[in-house]
Amino acid sequence: MASNDFGAVLHMAHRMKGVGEPYGFPAISLLGIDIDQAAQKPDKARLVQLLAQYAHYLDNVRVSTEV
């Protein structure tokens, strides 16, 4: 975000949208959709909020290997 590289953010968001749900993390796909929309505008304030949400999610997600 510091370099305002919205192209890189769009690339990341596209990958998040595609891989979150298939791997059992639908919240990542939903955040990817929101990040993609904010990067297209570009809405830097919204992107900062969304990336903070993503960081919080990654810090708190628990993966279970149980079926």
Q: Is there a contact between 8 and 42 (Cβ–Cβ < 8 Å)?
A: no
Nearest to 16 by CA among 60, 65, 50, 66: 50
Q: Across 1-67, where does the E strand assignment appear?
A: none
Span between the terminal Cα atoms of the chain, in Å: 38
Burial call 11-21: b when 16+ CB within 10 Å, e when fewer: ebbeebbeebe
13-59 pLDDT, tens digit each: 999 999 999 988 999 999 999 999 999 999 999 999 999 999 999 99
Model confidence, pTM:
0.86
